[in-house]
Amino acid sequence: MAFELPDLPYAYDALDPYMSAETLEFHHDKHHKAYVDNGNKLAEEAGMSGKTLEEIVVASHGTNAGLFNNAAQHYNHVHFWKWMAPNGGGKSIPGELMKAIDSDLGGYDKFKADFMAAGATQFGSGWCWVNVKDGKLEISKTPNGENPLVHGASPILGCDVWEHSYYIDYRNARPKYLEAFVDNMINWEYVAELYGAATS
Ligand code: MN3
């Protein structure tokens, strides 16, 4: 099926001051749109237009770099917009997910430190993640558009650490952006929904 650019699930200025309308306008309207347009063109050329997005991501990994980069980034951004919400972040985490963070990730404070470290130490562009793998939570990081789907894991939370995601608001201070993401922007309800789907 053809990729489509989804609308943001909130107003462009809804995450201000943690993520500005200017950042979201460039990031959603320019960067994500380019992944959609290029992905559609390359999926058609590869004869994969009939497959689902997840199937295209997995099938193109290691075999068609151009298609993989654009399809994976489309997948990552479709979720990234939903991984954020106004008045998000912090410790207001639905019960089952909080229990898993305690048992699998060593509690909220350790999750926060390890997730931020994964994002801060991803050299160059990439993502940091919380995934479900073999029924348990894990934290990981990936370069460029790569995502946990190609490592047999289900991502339930991801933060975009490409400079286009933070340079307007934080300049080079990636750790400050990561801290604002964790403290003020994570949509824990959506993370919990994905956690439920990945463990049921
Ligand atoms: Mn991005």
Over residues 7-19, mean pLDDT: 98
- C-alpha–C-alpha distance, residues 52 and 60, integer Å: 12
Sign of the CA dihedral running 63, 57, 105, 111: positive
Domains defined along the chain, listed by start: 21-82 (1.10.287.990), 95-199 (3.55.40.20)
Measure 127 CA to ligand 1 centroid, in angstroms: 9
Instruction: Give the confidence band of 1 by pLDDT, cuts at 50, 70, 90.
Output: confident
Q: What is the mean pLDDT of the chain?
A: 97
Determine the distance separating the centroid of ligand 1 and the alpha carbon of 167, expressed in angstroms: 11
> How do residues 154-180 score in pLDDT, each as one tens digit?
999 999 999 999 999 999 999 999 999
Taken in order 90, 115, 152, 103, is the CA torsion positive or negative? negative
- Residue 51 Cα, ligand 1 centroid: separation in angstroms? 23
Residue 105 CA to ligand 1 centre (angstroms): 26
Give me ligand 1 centre to Cα 95, in Å: 30
**How much is the average pLDDT of 76-88?**
98
